[in-house]
Structure 1
Amino acid sequence: MADNGGNIYEFDGFRLDVRERILSCGGKRLQIRDKAFDLLCALVDRSGSLVTKDELLSAIWPDTIVEENTLDKNVSLLRRLFSERLPDKHVIETVRGHGYRFALAVTTKPNAVASLEQAQQSSNPALANASEVDSSASPYEIGLHKLPPELILNGYPADESPTEPFKPLAGTRSKDSRGGRGLHVGLISLGSIALLILLYVVSHDSRPPHGGEPEARKIAVLPLANRTRDPNIEYLTDGITEGIIDDLAQLPGIKVLSRDSVFRFKNSEADMSGIASQLGADFVMSGEIDKVGDQFVISVRLVDSQDGAQIWGHQYVNNDDSLLRVQKQITLDVEESLHVKLGLRERGLLARGSTHNPAAYRLYLLGHYHNLKMTEPELLSGIQYFRKATEVDPGFAQAYVGLANCYLPLGIAGWHMPSRDALKESKSAATKALELDPKLATAHSALAWTLYLLDHDWNAAEKEFRQALTLSPFDSDIHRGLSHMLSLAGHHEEAIAEGERSLELDPLSLVSNTIFAQTLFFGGRTDDAIAQLNKTFEIESDFWIARNLLGRIYVSEGRYPEALHEFETARDHSGGGSIVPIAEIGYTYAKMGDRANALKLIEALHKQEGKRFVSFYSYAIIYNGLGDRKAAMVNLARSIHDCEADSLFLKAIGRWKPYMEDPKFDALIRPLNFEPTN
């Protein structure tokens, strides 16, 4: 078939410019997805004739495995577009069991620029062959003969350039032309998986809109599914997923949705397009881990959420003892096979803070798995594994970050040890990580938390958060941490801006949604805060931290019965892990005039001491409600001395505003250094 890629087609008031990739009607440009545009070109080019499904799949998704329903969806998109403007005409006919036919009369006009380029190529054969690329196999491509047939994934595609101009059909392809190239089989490399996705995203429609910088693309890395049926390797599936997320988050030009959002879809059977829509993701990566003998088979794939096409996929075989040994070589192999050269910055970031010791890495994954559960016993287990990892490899910076991230929640919650001691341990571990790798973003972020929670050095904390974002600009956790700090320090506009950035990267995170609502509340935007909490409840109706915050908002408005209901709901759904709602209930009883029940709760908290952590701040809250300023300030002094995290809310929460004019209170909170940050 002749190459008509430069033609302009006109039909019933429509104009289709293939070269410029523009579809217009009545002089107005219409929005149309890339693959739908290619499909329209294929049908219009052979208007009046049957174009088979096989021909369409071959032309629009060359060397890529897609289901026929992907083609059908794009046909439906075109039909909706035309039905809005030509309601009485059947533009695309279905030839049942075979394919489709474009039914309108079409006028073809050659594009002058394309004609000139075609003439130039005809006169210079070198130009015609310029796109030929050496496709010799990499030395790391080997066969899959050792694997049982049921584990060999058919047709993982080579990388595709979806924005390449439409190529007219060249006839029906052979039956095996969709089989794809040989599968890369080697040891799993988190860096190489991240790099492969990076390479595709950077090449996928990288043209800057309106002459500006290219917009960062958003990727959701779904948790790898555990197909081994062995619950003891959940730490491995979750750890590898986290590793991919962390690798991608450090690469420029990519926004990676955080763990909180994507792990809501763990073991989910939801449709990929639905997941992408909920997350606002341009691409979704999914995969699974299986095991054959002592070998893990890790299969991963990347789907373009725009049209549902699988654009990349690989299968890796490894044993866990050799998990990292060839990681660099796989990354180099990927770079060589795709003919892409990375800059020094990108290559360094892929291995940032890592280890080459398989035993240390396995211990790190176990520590990370326990850390994410965020209960006292799990955090203590995480500390043990991270410490062992640093003993096996004293230069493993990420393991020290893991230690810091375990001690931090212990310090905030007051579990197991005094808050001050836990925060000191967290700071020490973060500092050690930075000594080993000064450019490790997560270490800067971990240090920032301790600088304001422990040292009350707001300026230094902000500096560390900003440095972390310079190194990893699309890390939602860092944006959230900075937002929270700025909010407590009274910098509300900046805090809200950072909270918005965090939520953009973490749209389904319960914590991100709740913290953003709190930031709005502290910034005086109460109605917006309530609206944000209602969005949070759509994700999970009884998330106790959000219910507790709503109770605080109702208290600030004097709506005590409603506040009491929210605090009781928070208490009932906290799993017994927090006394915060109990203290709030005591405060609310006091404000409602029920002193007896407020005092009973103080007595109940005293009885809990020794069994669980009870903060001095909790007593201070209830005494505040009872109007006992002296008792409240005595407990606040102890809270500040012990570095209880709640004491940093003194400036933000309105219940303490009447105390601000008291010179004794001013002296009391002076160690918190509530001066404006630079």
Structure 2
Amino acid sequence: MSQKQDHLASQQFIFGDFVLQADGVLLHRNLQVDIPPKELAVLTALLQASGALISKNELLEKVWLDGDVAQESLCRCIYALRRILCENKTNRYIETVYGKGYRFCRHVAFVSAPPQQARRYTLAILPFRSDAPLEAEVLHTELVQHLSGYAPSHLSVLPASLTRDCQDMDKIMSMVDRLAPDYYLAGQIHRHDESCRLNLELVRTEGHRVLLHDNVQLPPDLPAAALRAHLGRLVVQCVPALQGTPGEVAEFRSMEAAIAYLNGRNDLQQYTPASLKRALALFCQQVSASSREIQPYCCLAECYLSMAQLGLFDQEQAIERAWQLVSKAVELKADHPQALSLLARISSLRGQSVIAETLFRQARLLAPDSIDIYYHYAWHLFLCGKLEEAQHELDCCLGRDPSRIAASILKVWISYCQHDLEEAIALGMRQLNQHGQDHPVLQSNLGLLLAVKGDLAAAAELARRVRDSGNEVGMLAAHNLYIRSRVEGPSAIPAIRSYLRGIDSRHVRTSLLPLVLEIDGVEAAQLYWQTLEKEDYVWLRVWRFDPRLQPLFSGRNMAV
């Protein structure tokens, strides 16, 4: 067992209403739950993987050490484990990735002492065999450069100058004997007409055991970056140094801190005005109580960004506070993927797209399949105007975690910004059914879309439910007034003007643009937009694709 596995095996894992103690005792709401040895071993392996995918073969090797066993035994074990964890359709712990394996899909915290120094691993990338030597040489150089980005995660890649001549068995074995890499990656490129197939093998040097064999069909127009990213994900799945990278599992020194973190994370996930305020208070307490735990800094920064998006906090202050918190997290651990992706998202909001791309590239190297990074990167792509690509990232995020309400809301909004109002409304209705009919943000967004469509009775009913629930605040109040303006027409103008005079516009400045356009016309709205633009108001970029605001730019020389 590796040092990292030794360290993790001594932890208490906290997830949902469960605690897995270091001695293998599983508690559910402080009551011991019977869990057979095989199920315990599978659960421990999934928790240690920190949300990463574990292949079926790897689980079989870790759990069934006494010889060959059929995959049906693992399937039965997973089924029993789901029952032990009281899984149902709305309360999932284990995700099945069909044809590949399993991963743990809930937020996890663990209580521990500081870990020992992790061991470094070495990877040799051999030149791929190909009928086009120049193509193989270019791919070899690019792969070495790309996978060298994993250096902060304790993986060293041998330089291309030391491996590019390893074209035959004698040279390969000579290199292995002299440099002793822990792993080597080999492959062959097959071309047929317009198509291209890449055969890959990742091999553990000790015993020359094949860890992964993969066939990749390459379309003619596949970007080189996409191929490199695919190979990077394969390496991450197989090399221990890269498994369980930080971001999915949070480490704490006390049970109280771990439980407080999970409660705050749950509130953050609910994404309502009340739950975000609770999460803000919890994470503020955690940051004040401990200056060495990274996750509370990241989650508090996420709270500020989320509250600013909903108009519940001074939007400019929110950016500044989030930046300070994430900078502190990166100071504590420079290669923390969630912190890097948050830093990238804030840079993107500030219009620093090149810096954002660089930070996202490093974050995605460290955690290629992170739910948080999918969501943050979708925001970046949306701000850059790449709406279709942003939707793809959100699909990846929601594929991993369908309960990520903030991602669902962003997906609806981007569909609306793509001028697909019917799809946005259908998606909004599905979300309301999935997450609960009383979710105020989902109600408010759907009501707005229905008002834009002209379904005024349904929109007014949703606005009433938001108001009656006491959540008519921030952006939700602005949405309700917009709905009222569409329902009541000119008679709603006095109420809207009264609201505009009394509101603290620092919280909702850009959210007011549709109201200004509705009651004062295009010229007044253009003037307001230009004022915000001159102030370099970063949140302006979030609203530039709103179809309601397109009259501001029609036939005008205005930046969008």
Separation in structure 2 between the aligned mates of residue 404 and residue 488 of structure 1, nearest angstrom:
19
Equivalent position of 1:203 in the other structure: 58
Distance verdict in 2 for CA 1:323–1:281, change over 3 Å = closer
1:439, 1:471 within 8 Å by CA — same for their partners in 2?
yes
Deviations 1:409-466 (A, max 9, x none): 34434545x321221121122233224433211012211221132x122343344334
- The equivalent position to 2:497 in structure 1, one of 592, 596, 602, is 602
Alignment partner, residue 324 of structure 1: 112
For residue 329 of structure 1, report the CA deviation from its aligned partner.
Answer: 11
Q: Is the 8 A contact 1:363 1:388 kept in 2?
A: no
> Which residue in the other structure is 2:304 paired with?
407
Shift of 1:522: 1.9
Counterpart Cα distance in 2 of 1:600 and 1:527? 30
CA distance in 1, matches of 2:50, 2:277: 36
- Counterpart Cα distance in 2 of 1:196 and 1:451: 27
- 1:505 aligned onto 2:400: yes
- Native 8 Å contact 2:305 2:322 kept in 1: yes
2:95 maps to a residue whose letter is A
Residue number in structure 2 paired with 1:157: 37
Q: CA RMSD in A?
A: 5.1
User: Where do residues 470-485 of structure 1 align in structure 2 (5 Å cutoff)?
Assistant: 470-485=365-380
Range with bigger deviation, 633-642 or 443-452: 633-642
Decide whether aligned partners of structure 1 residues 556 and 646 sit closer, same or farther in structure 2, where only a CA change above 3 A counts: farther
Q: TM-score, normalised by structure 1?
A: 0.47
Q: 1:413 to 1:346 in 2, by over 3 A?
A: same
Structure 1 runs not aligned, ≥5 long: 1-137, 163-183, 207-216, 222-264, 284-303, 306-319, 332-339
Verify: 1:622 aligned to 2:510, yes or no. no
By how many angstroms is 1:202 displaced? 5.0
Aligned: 1:426 with 2:322: yes
Pair 459,545 (structure 1): closer, same or farther in 2 beyond 3 Å: farther
Partner of 2:446: 550
Structure 1 window deviating more from structure 2 (403-412 vs 526-535): it is 403-412
CA contact 2:50–2:248 (8 Å) conserved in 1: no
Judged with a 3 Å threshold, the aligned counterparts in structure 2 of structure 1 residues 535 and 585 are, in CA distance, closer, same or farther, namely closer
Does structure 2 retain, via aligned residues, the 8 Å contact 1:379–1:406? yes
Counting aligned pairs with the same residue, the percent is 17
Counterpart selection for 1:448 from 344, 357, 375: 344
Separation in 2, partners of 1:490, 1:142: 48
Q: SS state of the match for residue 281, structure 1?
A: strand
Match of 1:346 among 232, 242, 256: 242
How far 1:496 moved relative to its partner?
1.9
Counterpart CA distance in 2 for 1:351 and 1:583 is 35
Q: Which amino acid aligns with 1:407?
A: Y
Give the distance between the partners of 1:489 and 1:143, measured in 2 at CA: 50
* Residue 276 (structure 2) pairs with residue 375 (structure 1): yes
The amino acid that maps onto 1:538 is N
Check conservation: 2:312, 2:474, Cα contact below 8 A.
no
Q: How does 1:8-27 map to 2 (within 5 A)?
A: none
Q: Shift of residue 402 of structure 1?
A: 3.7
Query: Among residues 646, 654, 665, which one is paired with 2:547 in the alignment?
Result: 654
Max radius of gyration: which structure? 1
| Cα distance in 2, alignment partners of residues 198 and 325 from structure 1 | 26
What secondary structure sits across from 1:272 in the alignment?
A: coil
Give me the whole-angstrom Cα distance separating, in 1, the residues matched to 2:417 and 2:319: 25
- 1:175-230: CA deviation from partner (whole Å, max 9, x where unpaired): xxxxxxxxx9xxxx999744799767552479xxxxxxxxxx99xx9xxxxxxxxx
Alignment check: 8 A CA contact 1:615 1:639 kept: no
1:100-115 correspondence runs (5 A): none
What is the aligned partner in structure 1 of residue 422 from structure 2?
527
CA contact (8 A) 1:518 1:529 kept: yes
Give the count of matched residue pairs.
391
Q: Within the alignment, does 1:493 sit opposite 2:388 as a pair?
A: yes
Structure 2: stretches of 5+ with no match in the other structure: 1-8, 12-20, 62-73, 103-108, 120-210, 212-236, 268-274
Is contact 2:444-2:476 (8 Å) kept?
yes
Q: Distance in 2 between matches of 1:580 and 1:571?
A: 12
Tell me by how many angstroms 1:660 deviates. Answer: 0.6
- Amino acid across the alignment from 2:87: M
Deviation, structure 1 residue 379 = 0.8
TM-score of the two chains, using structure 2 as the length reference? 0.56
Match of 1:388 among 285, 289, 311: 289
Q: Deviations over 1:468-496 (max 9, x none)?
A: 23322222232123223323432122122
Partner secondary structure for residue 325 of structure 1: coil
Q: Is residue 2:418 matched to residue 1:538?
A: no
Aligned residue runs from structure 1 range 43-54, under 5 A: none
In structure 2, do the counterparts of structure 1 residues 658 and 380 end up closer, same or farther at CA, with 3 Å as the change threshold? same
SS at match of 1:282: strand
Secondary structure at 1:349 match in 2: coil
Residue of 352, 358, 366 corresponding to 2:260: 366
